[in-house]
Structure 1
Amino acid sequence: MKKALLLLFFLLLPIANAQLITIGVQPSRVVLDFYKSSSYKIEFGFSNDAGEVDAIYTLEPDDCLKDIIKDYPKEVLVPKGTNRISNPVRVWITFKPDYKGSKTCFLYVYARPEGVSEEGGALRIRPSVGIKIEINQPESESISYTPPSSTSTVSLPLPIQEEENYDKEQTVNQPTQTPTPKTVQEPQKQKQAEIEVKGKSFPMWIV
């Protein structure tokens, strides 16, 4: 009986120490067209809206993305309460072609509470989301292919909701001016970066 109670105690211990973090990324889908730009500099936002503790996000590209993704942080600190709309943690990532044809890759974002190591069995759950990266490019640097100018790198603002808030602020601060119709801004939102938001909460079991 004592052994059964002792076993139950150790089984309940991880639940008692569980820490909640939120793993949120945006955009969750990006389209890169290297026929139009020689490289892309994309701004990503990370949030921990409902987190009880600060989180460490680890960025891991899959095999097909490793030769395309450049200049990115391996880990990002995302404080608890970080909101995806008002104050996301912003990270710039550069992408360049590897000339291996059009394909779909993923940039995986893993999360863990700050101060918790993945070594030694301390981390029971390793939650993650995958950012879908769709790539349009030639299969080789052939003579028939003329690469775009290197100055055509595209920087994309994030999150998209801030643009809407900015429009509203401009309207309030300048009431005599006619608000810019939304249709005027639509062409600026290029297909290369369609915004799709992901945000989920995961309990972390820590012994």
Structure 2
Amino acid sequence: MTGYLYWSDIGRKNKIERSTLAGEGRTVLLDENSFGLIGRPTALTIDHQDNILYWLDNSDSYIVSFDLNDERAYPRDLKQVVTSGDLFSFDIDPEFGFFVTDRQDNNLHIVPLDLRKATQTIFWQHEVPHGIIFHSDINQPKESALCEGAGCDQLCASDPAGYRCFCTYGYQLNNDEKTYEPGNRFIIIDYITVFFQLKKSEELPTLR
């Protein structure tokens, strides 16, 4: 799982794809042909501890799981978040639960990992909630050891083979794949602001 990028493609044929961080080795991981109806996967998240891929099925508001340790296994419906709504994005805290944004009613739904417990809902009174990312050492693990001594001039990221050097906007790698020179190939990194803070001592997150 390390060094891969996962995304969903919604259209005439819904599917979930995967590639390396360099955009190579693009493959279809899940689609309607291999596993039947996978719904409308509007958002993905990964449990890095157990290598479980989750997606949010916007067609019936279900959270669905897929075991990346056994890619021959079938996806499994976990829980229906709401009976109606416009669920757009979600993320997971492996120690707490799922956080789901609902653009229809401006809500943030909190789904405990213990699926026997009820889903909790917070009304988001500011703007319509769109994307959400839960920041933690578990979800964004640091792998500095992979890049120590790699000799990358600018960026270094994990890769299925170990690590890989990248360049920022306006540069391209030389043949040694470590140094760079001005060019027209680039990678764009998007930064997203966290809009709430989770305190383990409380049942609900503190909105900021």
Report the TM-score range of the alignment, normalised by the length of the smaller protein: under 0.3
TM-score by length of 1: 0.25
More strand by share: 2
Larger relative contact order, structure 1 or 2 (CA cutoff 8 Å, min sep 6):
1
TM-score by length of 2: 0.25
